[in-house]
Each structure stands twice: as C-alpha cells, then as structure tokens.
C-alpha cells in the first residue's frame, strides 16, 4: 500500500491520556499518517473530535488524527499496512484474555503480513515493566512476520477526564529503543520513530540505546514506590511522612526494595548506580502524586502488577537473588489484584463455601 | 464502702459488643454488683435499656446492669469502691490521649485509693496484644494503689449494631489470669473473677495460669493474619484463596509471620508448638471472617497496631530476632494507621507543603 501517501503509517492502540497525546504528537509533526483505535469513545470522537488541553500543544476544540477506527479488527480490515503499531494500553497479562497485548495486536500483525509480506512491522510498546517484549516474541514468529518489537518509556501527565476530553498537564518525555539492541533494522526503526514523534520545543523524544537498562531503572520507582502506594492507598508524600519517625517508609520499605531491584539487575550485568535510589526517593517526595497502581486500585481497575513486580521476581528466582521486601509487596498485592479480578468478573468467589470456584 | 451490699463491685468500661456482654454475664451470674460506663449511648440506655440478642443468654428487650454511668469520672464520684475495673475498650496507645488505658482508669484508681486505702483494686484488661500491662505498671505505683493488673483473653462474636442494640452471635470464651503469675493476691483475684463471670452451660470462663503464653499464642493469629487482612482489606478466606496458586498467602505470608512470632516468644522461654501455626491457619480458612483490624480499617477507626505488632517487634529488636515479614507488615500498616490518625484528627498533613505539620 502506501500509494496514496508516501508517509509511514502509524496506528496507536489505546485511546487514553497516553495514546491520544501520542497520536497528537505524531500528527503535529506531520511526518506520518496517524490512525487511532478508539473503542469506547468512538461515536463521540467520530462526531465531535477530541477536546484537548495540552501543556505541550495548547488547546484543541475538535481534534482528530488522520483516521479513527472503532476496533483493531476494523483497522486490520482497512487494507492499510501499518509500519508502526503503537501499543499505549496498560500491560496486564493476568487481565481479560481479549486485552492481552499479543491478542490485541494479532489482527494487525496478520493483516500486515497478508498485505505486504516481507515489509517490516514495528510494534512499539509504550508500557511499564520488564520482559514485556517476551510475550510478543513468544506469540509470533518474528522472522515470518518481519516483526520488530520496540520499547517506549514515557513520562507524561495526561488523563482522559471525560469521553473525548483530554487534560494533558505534564510534559511528554518519550524514550524509544529496540528490545534487540543488536538488531540494526529494529534500531533504525526506533530512531525513525523518534523523528516522527519529536516536536522540537514541544515534547521530548529520544532514542534509547540501552532499553533494558532504562527499564530496570524505571522499575526502581515502580517496583518499590508505585507498589507500596497502591497497597496502602496513599500518595507518595503521605507514605513517606506517615512512617515511624517520618523515616521508616524510606529506610525500611522504599530503599531496601530498590536495592533488591539493583541486586536483580546486577545479575543481568546491568549496573544501577546507588545514587539512583536516592534520586527516586526524592523525585516525588514533595509532589502530591499517586502513582498508576494506586490510581488503578482506587478506581477498581486491574494493576500492572505482573510486569512491574511479578516479572522482576521471576528473574530474581532464576538468578538466586534474595528479595524479602519485594516478595512481601508482591504476595500482598496479589491478594489485592485477586479482589480487583473478582470485581472485574475475572474470578468468582463462593462465599457459602469460602472458596474460589472459577478463574478465567 | 460495700455496706449496702456485700457483693464485690465490678465496673465495666467500654460499652461495645464485648463490654456489654461482659456486664450481662456478670449480672446473669448474680454474684457481683455490676456498673457500666457507657458514654455515647447513655441517654438511650438510661431510658430504654439495651436490646440484646445473645447466643449465650437469649433475648432481652430492655436490659440494664445494676448501675450505668455516663462517664468514668461520674463513676469515680459515686462513692463506690470498685473491686474490679474491667477495661473492654480497644487498646490503642497511639490513639487520642484521653482514650489511653492509664488515663481512662485513673479516676477510678484514684477514687478507690481515696475511699479505702489498702483495699485491693483489680484492673482486668480484656484486650488484645502483648505487654499491655506495662503501660499500667508504668503509670501507677502498684504498691501505693494496691493494684493488681489482670489479663483477659476473650473469643466472642458480639457487635453493637445500633445505639443500645447488641447482636451477640459467637459464644463468649474468656480466660482470666494475673500478669504477675507469682503474685498470690493477683492470682486469687483472677480466680475469683472467673467465679463471678462463668455461667455454666452458657459461656466459657476459665483461670489462665500462664498469661504470657496465652497472649503470645493469640498473637500468632493477630500479628500474622489480623494484620494482613487489614492491609489488603479482605476476609481471611479471600486472602488465602487469592494467593498465587491459592498458596502464597499461607506459605509466604501467614506461616512465615507466625514463625517469627514463635521465634520471638522463644527468646522469652515461651514455647509455641509448631502445630499451633497450622491450627491458626486453618481456624478461619472456611469462615467468612474479617478480623478486628480489618474491620477497624474499613470503618476508618484506629487499629490496635502497636499492641498487636509494634510491641512484639520491640521485643524482637531487644532480643535480636530477625523479623523480615512482620516488620514489613508493620511498616506498611504504620502508613495506614497514619491515614486513620489523619482521618480522626490526630495529625495534620499539609498538602500544599506535602508535609506532616502537626501530631497530637
């Protein structure tokens, strides 16, 4: 395809705060043809477009990308080849089967393959956690599908506050790299994506040469702090201030948990400098911030527990690293996730028998 | 005093589910003169008495003990000498100053002392936790006040469901002993209380010759299971069933936490048999039960965190016992307690500074 338009085609899946600002950034640059798979807000967006208030790009009363699709399936039947499939959903392997990433992207991977065998399909995961690429690698024959999986690590403050309404308050910072750092095609695709995405003076976007390092680094915060806030249902400053003598949260939870991440990363020859531990303790000490897992818990939504904590602990077990603090956080959060799974209809608990009767 | 009536006088402080059934048990037996300090429900109880549905004693439409007082201060000005001061409140040393046990009983200890120097005052703590007697010992000169502190460990299912309305569904089982097992007067007073309290065929009450053992034993459940349920806000069966492979809660949280209690108790020469760990894992596995700390957390009430977990951990520190699991539970629950303290006006958190500004 690409006859009518020489621009590379990008489809963004996940029309929340992250995905919509992502699509906007790409459109703003104007170097790609941008589609968005929308799901729940499709009707309203089709009619009226998005109302966006963005700290990077200003006000939009009725914004639309080049194409909107109701579903990924619809997009896969459009006859379009998508050079980049950008996944901006949460990554929850223990969520509903239909929402798991390989399942979500499958129609597009297949339609790309059918439309233009041999052309490269780049899947960019703008998602938290470690080892998230492996699920994709396991699901698809990368050679057959000419598939590159790219890593996107993003810092952004952007929320869908109502159907079709986006409030973007924290500057978009995106790092993109190849999960296979030695794969030249993948590296090239990652660098190209940065060109499509970066708007000088607006957002930040840069190529990430060491994806795994960056992910372990971000896990310092997420595995230790994001998890804890979710368990106690408190913003970060309250967690810190409510500790014994205003110290125990930092000294007995956050720092030891992060040091366990440092130890696990070390067994992969990834060196996380000790100063990063302090950096991440301090980064939200004075910001009234509730991390994503805390917000999800509050909203009754499933948490990204497995990619943030389950996967690092698997690596720890394989590599013989002791993780008393992270393991406790995990085993406690597993119960919370169970409750969220129950609330979301993914498991059934029979109170008359006091037993789990069904798990999807 | 005691002229008008040769029966020993008992005053029960704490007119919740525990205190009211306690007063009822004493009245039912008829061997003591029973007073109750009521606080919030005073007007309604004064007028209409308690409406009680009790699994042990049946239905009461309008029950009253021998005396009701609005406050402990009122009771202390009644001119009565109370042989037994039964404390059936929660024990929360980090709660409001006026609710701390030494403060609560002080007027009665003083009035007893003024009324009849040399006569024995017995304070019976029907409360959870370890080392709760020390707060009383530190607050009062035991010799001067002729004070014995007695231990009450109770199993009961009894709830105040509305002002003046009690629903008692789980049989009352009370063990009473002397914190000083070598103090003959105290032991005698404990045995005497059992006689005043035990109603054959109705409730269970027995003398407890090894108070400290019994308290460590009960802590197995409370320090490991009560705490965990409160942190994740789930009943016990859900905690167990929602673990990884339905096993991790038992294997990685409950049992290791209990083994740490066993280890701490060992340093006090108290031997808790390993079989007790299994006993307490099983005891509520199939009962849809939410332990007290979980209920308190849900209701926005302060939890008995310090007497259940803080005090055992102090002993562990003094005696050099490693407690990775219990410590994590503690440091996490301290944050939750901080939030409860904030909700109850005991501390102030300034969101504009993201800092604690005041602690009472």
Residue range B189-215, pLDDT digits in tens: 999 999 999 999 999 999 999 999 999
**In Å, how far from its chain's centre is CA B58?**
24
Confidence of residue A39 (pLDDT cuts 50, 70, 90): confident
Average pLDDT over residues B3-22: 87
pLDDT for the residue A56: 95
- Cβ-Cβ contacts under 8 Å, A334 against chain B: 242-244, 248-249
Q: Does B355 touch chain A (CB under 8 A)?
A: yes
- Cβ-Cβ contacts under 8 Å, A356 against chain B: 241-242, 246
- Cβ-Cβ contacts under 8 Å, A355 against chain B: 237, 241, 286
pLDDT for the residue B4: 44
Class of domain A213-343: mainly alpha
- Using the predicted structure, report yes or no on whether residue A4 has a pLDDT greater than 70: no
Span A277-325, pLDDT tens digits: 999 999 999 999 999 999 999 999 999 999 999 999 999 999 999 999 9
Query: B9-209: what fold?
Result: Rossmann fold (3.40.50)
Residue range(s) of every CATH 3.40.50.720 domain in chain B: 9-209
Average pLDDT over residues A258-274: 98
| 3-state secondary structure labels for all residues of chain A | CCCCCCCCEEEEECCCHHHHHHHHHHHHHCCCEEEEECHHHHHHHHHHCEEEEECCCEEEEEECCCEEECCHHHHHCCCCCCCEEEECCCCCCCCCHHHCHHHHHHHHHHHHHHHCCCCCEEEEEECCCCCHHHHHHHHCCHHHHCEEEEEEEEEEEEEEEECCEEEEEEEEEEEEEECCCCCHHHHHHHHHHHHHHCCCCCCEEEECCCHHHHHHHHHHHHHHHHHHHHHHCCCHHHHHHCCHHHCHHHHHHHHHHHHHHHHHHHCCCCCCCHHHHHHHHHHCCCCCCCCHHHHHHHHCCCCCHHHHHHHHHHHHHHCCCCCHHHHHHHHHHHHHHHHHHHHCCCEEEECCCCEEEEEC
Rounded Cα distance between A6 and B58, Å, is 85
pLDDT for the residue A2: 40
Residue A324 and residue B328: Cβ atoms within 8 Å?
yes
Q: Does A327 touch chain B (CB under 8 A)?
A: yes
pLDDT for the residue B360: 66
pLDDT for the residue A358: 78
- Using the predicted structure, report yes or no on whether residue A5 has a pLDDT greater than 70: no
pLDDT for the residue B3: 43
> Among B338, B351, B352, B358, which would you mutate to test the A interface (most chain A Cβ atoms within 10 Å of its Cβ)?
B338
Tell how many helices (H) and how many strands (E) occur in chain B.
Answer: 17, 12
Rounded Cα distance between B13 and A316, Å, is 52
Average pLDDT, chain B: 95
pLDDT for the residue B40: 85
Residues 248-267 of B with CB under 8 A from A: 248-249, 252-253
- Cβ-Cβ contacts under 8 Å, A349 against chain B: 237-238, 241
- Cβ-Cβ contacts under 8 Å, B324 against chain A: 324-325, 328
Q: Does B357 touch chain A (CB under 8 A)?
A: no
pLDDT for the residue A3: 43
Q: For residue B269, give how far its alpha carbon lies from the nearest alpha carbon of chain A (Å).
A: 27
Confidence of residue A360 (pLDDT cuts 50, 70, 90): low
Residues 209-228 of A with CB under 8 A from B: 228
pLDDT for the residue B1: 38
Span A85-117, pLDDT tens digits: 999 999 999 999 999 999 999 999 999 999 998
Residue range(s) of every CATH 1.10.1040.10 domain in chain B: 213-343
Contact A54, A168 (CB under 8 A): yes
Judging by DSSP bridges, how do beta strands A84-87 and B58-63 pair with one another? unpaired
- Using the predicted structure, report yes or no on whether residue A267 has a pLDDT greater than 60: yes
> Among A287, A332, A351, which would you mutate to test the B interface (most chain B Cβ atoms within 10 Å of its Cβ)?
A332
DSSP conformational letter for B167: E
Q: For residue B91, give how far its alpha carbon lies from the nearest alpha carbon of chain A (Å).
A: 19
Contact A97, A103 (CB under 8 A): yes
Average pLDDT over residues A198-202: 97
Which chain A residue lies closest to B322 (C-alpha atoms)? A324
Q: For residue A277, give how far its alpha carbon lies from the nearest alpha carbon of chain B (Å).
A: 19
Q: Which of A241, A331, A356 sits opposite B356 (nearest CB)?
A: A241
Average pLDDT over residues A273-280: 97
> In terms of Cα–Cα distance, which of A333, A324, A314 is closest to A130?
A314
Q: For residue A143, give how far its alpha carbon lies from the nearest alpha carbon of chain B (Å).
A: 35
Rounded Cα distance between A228 and A239, Å, is 8
Query: A145: which 2 tokens?
Result: 């599908």
**Tokens 């999960």 belong to residue:** A179
Residue B335 and residue A252: Cβ atoms within 8 Å?
no
Span A141-188, pLDDT tens digits: 999 999 999 999 998 989 899 999 999 999 999 999 999 999 999 999
Average pLDDT over residues A218-224: 97
Residue A246 and residue B356: Cβ atoms within 8 Å?
yes
pLDDT for the residue B359: 73
Average pLDDT over residues B110-114: 97
Span B240-297, pLDDT tens digits: 999 999 999 999 999 999 999 999 999 999 999 999 999 999 999 999 999 999 999 9
Q: For residue A69, give how far its alpha carbon lies from the nearest alpha carbon of chain B (Å).
A: 37
Q: Which of A241, A338, A349 sits opposite B355 (nearest CB)?
A: A241
């Amino acid at each position: 395809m690409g006859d009518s338009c020489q621009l590379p085609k990008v489809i963004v899946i996940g029309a929340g705060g992250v995905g919509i600002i992502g699509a906007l950034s790409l459109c703003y640059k104007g170097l790609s043809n941008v589609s968005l798979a929308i799901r729940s807000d499709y009707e309203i967006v089709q009619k009226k477009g998005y109302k966006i208030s963005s700290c990077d790009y200003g006000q939009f009363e009725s914004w639309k990308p080049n194409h909107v699709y109701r579903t990924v399936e619809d997009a896969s039947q459009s006859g379009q080849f998508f050079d980049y499939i950008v996944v901006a959903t949460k990554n929850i392997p223990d969520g509903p089967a239909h929402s798991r990433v390989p399942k979500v992207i499958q129609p597009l991977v297949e339609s790309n393959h059918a439309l233009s065998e041999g052309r490269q399909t780049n899947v960019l995961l703008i998602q938290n956690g470690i080892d998230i690429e492996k699920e994709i690698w396991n699901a698809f024959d990368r050679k057959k599908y000419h598939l590159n999986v790219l890593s996107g690590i993003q810092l952004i403050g952007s929320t869908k506050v109502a159907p079709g309404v986006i409030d973007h308050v924290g500057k978009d910072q995106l790092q993109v790299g190849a999960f296979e750092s030695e794969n030249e095609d993948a590296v090239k695709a990652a660098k190209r994506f940065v060109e499509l995405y970066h708007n000088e003076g607006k957002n930040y976007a840069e190529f990430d040469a060491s994806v795994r390092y960056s992910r372990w680094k971000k896990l310092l915060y997420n595995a230790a702090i994001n998890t804890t806030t979710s368990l106690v249902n408190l913003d970060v400053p309250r967690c810190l201030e409510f500790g014994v003598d205003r110290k125990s949260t930092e000294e007995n939870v956050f720092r030891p948990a992060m040091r366990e991440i440092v130890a696990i990363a070390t067994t992969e020859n990834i060196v996380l400098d000790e100063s990063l531990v302090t950096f991440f303790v301090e980064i939200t000490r004075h910001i009234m911030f509730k991390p994503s897992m805390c917000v999800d818990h509050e909203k009754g939504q499933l948490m990204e527990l497995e990619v943030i904590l389950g996967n690092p602990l698997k690596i720890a077990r394989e590599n013989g690293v002791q993780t008393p603090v992270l393991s406790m956080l995990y085993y406690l959060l597993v119960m919370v996730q169970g409750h969220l799974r129950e609330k979301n209809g993914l498991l059934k608990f029979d109170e008359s028998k006091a037993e789990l009767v069904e798990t999807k």
